[in-house]
Structure 1
Amino acid sequence: MLIKLLKYYSLSLVVSVKRSATIQSGVNLSYQMELLNDNKQFKKALELFEDHTKNSTKTFSSSIITQALKACTHLGDLERGKTIHQLISSRTKDDFYITTSLIHLYMQCYDLASAELLFDTTAKKKLSIYGAMMKGYIKNKQAKKAIDLFNQIDKPDEITINLFFNACAQLGTPEALNLVNQVSNKIPKLFYSNSILIASLLDALMKCGDVKHAELLFDKSKIRVLSMYGAMMKGYIKNNKAKKAIDLFDQIKNPNEVVFILLFNACAQLRTLEALNLVKQISSEIPKSFHSNSSLITSLLDALMKCGDVQHAESLFDKSKIKVPSMYGAMMKGYIQNNKAKKAIDLFSQIKNPNDIIINLLFNACAQLGTPEALNLVNRVSNTIQKLFHSNSILITSLLDALMKCGDVKHAKSLFDKTTNKILPMYGAMMNGFNLENNPEETLNLFNKMKVDNIEGSIVVFLCVIKALSQIGDYSLCQSIIKQIPNSFFVNTEIQYALIDMWGKSGHVDLAKEIFEKLSQPNQVEYTNMINGYGLNGMGIRAIELYYKMPKEFLDDAIYVCILNACSHSGLVQEARSIFESIEMKTEKVYGVMIDCLSRASLFDEAEKVIDEYEYDHSPSSSMYMAVLSGARNIKNAGLSQKTYDHMKKLFSQSTNPLTSAAVLLANTYASSGDIEKASNIRNELHKSGQKKKMGLTSTVVNGEFYVSLQLQ
């Protein structure tokens, strides 16, 4: 009996030791995996888990499984996560820790269907499970679903309310703002001591456009943490109030890297000399340890580029030892903004594995150049990019834009027609391209196709449509299409100055003036379009009156050209002389339009003096001589035309295009003066030389139908 008792005791002791060892082993494994995950060594954490897996997963604790799933989530390893799910599927019903981790894995790996299935089949839903779903919906840009899920929660905690505010911030709509106000009015006062929650509330208010409410809440907060300052600064930038973001930065004693990034973003938005000086000052004062933060360096490069200091940005970029894609992106974007597309393309060639953002910027650079070489590069890169990128609608939009601006309309149309999921910017890229090609009919055809397909237009689309109508200049067609623009769009400044231009070019200056006079503070473009409208309709005196009312800081090359053109078309030579003499920095275009004005008035001796003045320190310009030829043709002065043409042959012997156009004008002058033989001889010589006349387009509208005809110029 004693021996039996001893054997039983020994057996119990062994079992107890084994259980103790298993528990101890589980605790150690969980702790080791947690340490590896905390140190972002996710692969090692999974390797450790798999070493212990074998067939004993049922004995693993929840903490071990959740650590394994956490590693899968960070690695984006959906397949391995699904394998773990299959091994422990029976435990998901009772273990909400594992269920929460699985939902988080599926959501972060964009497998919404699996996450939703697991959520729907879970009987007891704890707040952490709701939180994982809401966080996932926000990650997957489905904020509406996150809000719908929040409404199912009886007693939300601070975390779920925080996620709710994040969802509303993502939507940024008036409806979302109403929800934010409703929920924030109901939450317990105790929650207002939670700085993370308040930061999310400030962010939601700012992104929904309620700056005043956000400022009030911020000012009332007794304890302000950096995340709250960050939410306010980010909100000011989003609402185009960069100056306020900078003022708020000055109140922060110890800004962190995130706050510095926001300051640089604010300065980038201002793009002023003062902003540039602040960027330089702050960047020289930030701790050296921050210079290893690639996000901060990217923002600094962006700010320098947008403030126009390309040289400083290049120096900083060259000194950076570790260059990440975002830094290349900031430099390429900056080069494009500073009209240095060639440099952006050169930088692209240094990147080994460009992502979709970098390729997008390359297409933008090529679009800015618009040359045959740029088109070749666009075709070469678009043929080699990963198929995955072809589903990127933003990339396809940039590709369409580049093809159109490089003149490959056929390729662009083919790509557009093949694209199944068309977004509005794609229509805008095509319409803008058609307008640049002086093909407004195609723009209107595409707009009509949008209507047939029940696609609502955006501000960009309607801007393209208005510009197409400006090119056509038919009042009845303008009237019929403008009625289709939503009323809310008419407050947009770009729409307003496009309409001023359109009504002026369609012969209804009264309608253009009506819009202009309603503007509280007309900008430079609106003044330019109004003056141009007066000029095109022979209302030079009105144009001059408005010119002298303009703020002096608006005066630039475009304004000078418009006002001198207005004088030219109205025969106001003395007024043109006065304006021309007052211009300090005269460009080639300004000289050209003044010569045109004098030539129209048959003041050829004076026009010749202005040409001599220009050529004193500039190379000859063919357009100035073409203006003289046009003036001579108008009064049928064949002698002056021949003299001018002979002089052009000496000056532009290496250029065929201006001489061809000049020869056509010379032939027309002889023909109009009655010397048909001379005119025929010139035309025959042109034909023998193989020089091609340029094709011109003329258009007309009959009964609402648009007709185009080709003409030889």
Structure 2
Amino acid sequence: MMLNSLSRYLIQSFWKVDQRKYKYVSALLSSTSSSPSMKLNLNMKKLIDSQQYRQALAIFDRQISIGDQVTFTLALKACTKLNDYQYGIRIHQQLSLKALEDPYLQTSLIHFYMQCHNIDQADKIFSTKKNKTVYTYGAMFKGYISNNMPEKVIELFEKISIKIDEVIIILLFNACAKLCNNRAIKTGRDALNRLPTSFLQNQKLINAAIDMLMKFGDVNQAEVLFEKTQNKTLVTYGAMMQGYVTNNLSDKALDLFEKNPLKSNEVLYSIVYNACASLSNEKAIQLGKKIFDKMPKRYLHDNVLVNSTIHMFMSFGEIEIAENLFSHIKDKTSYTYGAMINGYKINQELQKCLLLFEEIKKENLIIEEPIFLSLIGACSQIGIRSICEHIVRQIPLSQPSIYLQNALIDMWGKSGDVNQAKQIFQSISQPEIISYNSMINVYARNGMGYEAIDLYNKIDENIRDKISHICVLNACSHSGLIDQAQMIFNKIEKKSVEIITTMIDCLSRMAMFDQAQKLIDDYEKSNSPDSIMYTAMLSGARNHRHLVLSEKLYNQMKSLFSNEKSDLISASILLSNTYSSLGHEQQGEAIRIDRIKQFGKNAKVGVSWTEVNGQLVRFHAHDRSHRQSNEIYAELERLSNELREHGYEYDSTWITRPLKDGETVESVLCGHSEKLAIAFNFIQHPRPSFIQITKNLRVCGDCHRATKLIAKIRQCDIIVRDANRIHHFHTNGQCSCQDHF
């Protein structure tokens, strides 16, 4: 959304090709001549200037007999503005052979046909023109860009044999920025390096160059150009700030916004709000709120800005502020609804996502693909098949984009429906690497390690990327395929910090801590320590209840990463849980108290979602807010009795806090949110064949063992998706994860 805002602003500044042609027309009209054609042209120009295009064409129709080339040029401009294809064709057909030789008329025709998406006709007019000018080349460049054919601009630029001007270079830079492949990067950089010194005085050209370089990821070169620029405009600052956001340097965008000496406009505010949203740290939250408070509220009439503002506050978790902004918008667009749906998704207000989608349908708004992508993202978070099916039925899937296909693969995978994900993947005739990665990740989450490895091996080695390696190693980790993981890891030439961390996680899950430590040691020989590596190893130590190692890793993290708040919170939770699982309640409580003193109560509350009879229901641990709460707890008692009859004993080592008065091991563990969701399903349908639950945290060992037995006793397939993976509990009492969780 934000990128569109800047692009719109840049395009308005750059694309002035037909203005030169229009200046020519204006010069002719400024003549003192009072011929009938001149009077006609003056009247038409006045109407066009005031955007009364139909009235201009009405005069043209009545007085066409006295018209000249300028008259036809003006009429074509009106048709182009109206996007009236048939009218423009009629004008073209009335032109004499002599008139068709006029360079300005030819340019107007090219511009008209490009605007109406008749590329072939524009190409034909251009190819038949013998003496091509920068105006005709400019019209072709502009047309190709507006028709999303930037590669054609580069092809045509390479054939130019006439002297070019700044406008041609501006359009070339814009095309290179859109395309951003190897050819575009080389062409754009070569053109920039060969620019005449006089061109570098053109601020619009500099803005285009900065935008292009930032799209190439060449931040340093863009910064050099920016610093050399004397007469910076708001567009210059906007191009730099948006470039920083695009290149994940949002902190630099905030710094530049504060240094900007010019009066900010709605575009800069939109960019800075997006920068704040992407960071969402303390500094960004304070700055974002401060800027919003000082911003002239008249800017809130700009829909793009409002969308960015909503996105920022949603990213801050300030749902009420975002909702208030949304409620005051009179003419809501589908994009505004999209910003709210995406915000609810970020904040896991998944029911509100679905309710807002129903509201969009009632408003009869056109639902664009970005909204469906947000909805699919929400469905992916919910991970409930029935809800996914409800949304997918409403998506036009005749020609889905690759982004939509990949989102659907991810969604079906996260809902545990591997077959649906596989069908979509197989429908893609030429899968790109992102499609392969999405499908490998589906296999990984669903405990299908061998299938993930098989698909990974089918990818050409030249196109595998970092994500491919991470996904397949993660699949091995969740399926206990340590030998296969090591073979894959050893073959990876460039091992990023994320790849190494995934391998550390894999080794730690299998209690191979010496090998995991060696990876950390080798990495730190030439790099600064990374907290995620230590967290991965600490998680494995907690799973295997390795207390000495857990204490050692936690103390190392406190020493090495004293300023990394979120990682230290995670580490303290893992250590306190390790203490509690071994019965060392005092040490566990001491760690919890210390964490609360330093960071506040930052531990997540366990939440589970399930869907019954078309309703999405959410439970938190020990929840008694549901109107059928008494029935739910009665069903839990029945389940407990059945479990005990089959020899089940509740595992107190999974309780991570001291028992309160009146609590028992059974009552605490039975209060976990996924067990409440399972019981709720059974009271709604006493003999269901299938239950599905999504949980925001990892499933504990007691719930995992109990759910396996419940599935067998009640002969009901149960799918539980936790924060790490998807567990398919089968009626034979087994889980797809084979206890690797």
Q: TM-score of the superposition, structure 1-length normalised?
A: 0.73
Determine if the alignment matches structure 1 residue 232 to structure 2 residue 240. Answer: yes
Partner of 1:10: none
Give the counterpart of 1:334 among 343, 360, 374: 343
* CA pair 605-179 structure 1, distance change in 2 beyond 3 A: closer
* Cα distance in 1 between the residues matched to 2:316 and 2:158: 46
Shift of 1:449: 4.4
Structure with more helix by fraction: 1
Aligned-pair distance for 1:130?
1.6
Sort the Cα spacing of 1:31 and 1:665 in 2 relative to 1 into closer, same or farther, 3 A. closer
Aligned to 2:307: 298
1:169 corresponds to 2:173 = no
How far apart in 1 are the matches of 2:150 and 2:189? 17
1:243 to 229, 240, 251: 251
Q: Distance in 2 between matches of 1:538 and 1:342?
A: 38
TM-superposed deviation, 1:580: 4.6
Q: Is the 8 Å Cα contact of residues 42 and 74 (structure 1) preserved in structure 2? A: yes
Does the 8 A contact of 1:535 with 1:563 survive in 2?
yes
CA distance in 2 between counterparts of 1:187 and 1:426 reads 40
Q: Does 1:545 align with 2:522?
A: no
Is 1:435 matched with 2:444? Answer: yes
- The Cα shift of 1:374 comes to 1.5
Specify which of 488, 495, 504 is matched with residue 500 of structure 1: 504
Contact 1:405/1:436, CA 8 A, preserved across alignment: yes
Counterpart for residue 394 of structure 2: 381
**Are the counterparts in 1 of residues 650 and 702 from structure 2 also a CA contact under 8 Å?**
no
Q: Which amino acid aligns with 1:512?
A: A
Q: Deviations over 1:606-646 (max 9, x none)?
A: 99996633876999333699xxxxxxxxxxxxxxxxxxxxx
Q: Tell me, yes or no, if structure 1 residue 559 matches structure 2 residue 571.
A: yes
1:197 to 187, 190, 205: 205
Q: 8 Å contact 1:146–1:164 — kept in the other structure?
A: yes
2:733 corresponding residue in structure 1? 712
SS in structure 2 of the partner of residue 407 of structure 1: coil
Work out which of the residue numbers 254, 260, 267 in structure 2 matches 1:258.
267
Q: Structure 1 474/155 Cα, relative in aligned 2: closer, same or farther at 3 Å?
A: same
* TM-score normalised by length of structure 2: 0.71
Q: How many angstroms does 1:363 deviate by?
A: 1.8
- How big is the shift at 1:199? 1.4
Residues 503 and 450 (structure 1), Cα distance of their counterparts in 2 relative to 1, 3 Å cut:
same
1:555 deviation in Å? Answer: 4.8
- Kindly name which structure, 1 or 2, has the bigger radius of gyration based on alpha carbons: 1
1:472 aligned to 2:503? no
Q: 1:418 & 1:606 partners in 2: Cα distance? A: 47
Equivalent residue, structure 2, for 1:356: 369
Check conservation: 2:385, 2:417, Cα contact below 8 A: no
Deviates more, 1:465-474 or 1:557-566: 557-566
RMSD: 4.5
Q: Distance between the aligned counterparts of 2:660 and 2:670, measured in 1? A: 15
Q: Give the drift of 1:110.
A: 4.1
When residues 583 and 192 of structure 1 are mapped into structure 2, their CA distance, relative to the original with a 3 A threshold, is same
User: Structure 2 vs 1, CA of residues 35 and 495 (structure 1 numbering), >3 Å: closer, same or farther?
Assistant: farther
- Cα distance in structure 2, aligned partners of 1:235 and 1:653: 53
Deviation of residue 46 (structure 1)?
A: 5.0
Q: Is the alpha carbon distance of 1:138 and 1:611 closer, same or farther for their aligned partners in structure 2, counting shifts above 3 Å?
A: same
Query: Any idea what the Cα deviations from partners look like across 1:679-709, whole Å, max 9, x if unmatched?
Result: xxxx9x998x75458799xxxxxxxxxxxx9
**Residue identity opposite 1:244 in structure 2:** K
1:643 counterpart residue number: none
How many residue pairs are counted as aligned between the two chains? 614
Q: What CA distance in whole angstroms lies between the structure 2 residues aligned with 1:482 and 1:607?
A: 33
The amino acid across from 1:498 in the alignment is: T
Does structure 2 conserve the Cα–Cα contact (< 8 Å) formed by 1:168 and 1:177?
yes
Shift in alpha-carbon separation, 1:686–1:428, aligned structure 2, 3 A: closer
Change (3 A) 1:100 1:603: closer
Check whether the contact 1:447–1:465 (CA below 8 A) recurs between aligned residues.
yes
Q: 1:257 to 1:653 in 2, by over 3 A?
A: closer
Identity, % of aligned pairs? 30
**Structure 1 residues 543 and 446: alpha-carbon distance in aligned structure 2, compared to 1, 3 A threshold:** same
2: CA distance, partners of 1:166 / 1:665: 58
Aligned-pair CA distance for 1:89: 7.8
Structure with more relative contact order (C-alpha pairs < 8 Å, separation 6 or more): 2
Q: Which aligned pairs between 1:470-619 and structure 2 lie closer than 5 A?
A: 470-482=477-489, 485=492, 487-488=493-494, 490-491=495-496, 493-505=497-509, 508-517=512-521, 518=523, 520-534=527-541, 540-550=547-557, 551=561, 553-555=565-567, 558-560=570-572, 562-563=574-575, 578-584=587-593, 612-613=659-660
Deviations 1:347-367 (A, max 9, x none): 111112222222222222222
Q: Quick one: structure 1 residues 414 and 255, their matched pair in 2 at CA, closer, same or farther if it must change by over 3 Å?
A: same
2:145, 2:175 within 8 Å by CA — same for their partners in 1?
yes
Of the three residues 86, 103, 108, the one matched with 1:101 is 108
Aligned-partner Cα distance in 2 for 1:686–1:261: 51
Tell me the equivalent position of 2:646.
none
Q: Does 1:188 align with 2:188?
A: no
Amino acid at match of 2:482: Y
The alignment partner of 1:613 has SS state of coil
- Provide the C-alpha distance between the structure 1 equivalents of 2:178 and 2:568, rounded to a whole number of angstroms: 41
- Which ranges of structure 2 fall in alignment gaps of 5 or more residues? 1-32, 594-600, 607-620, 622-648, 673-678, 694-700, 721-729, 735-741
Q: Decide whether aligned partners of structure 1 residues 379 and 286 sit closer, same or farther in structure 2, where only a CA change above 3 A counts.
A: closer
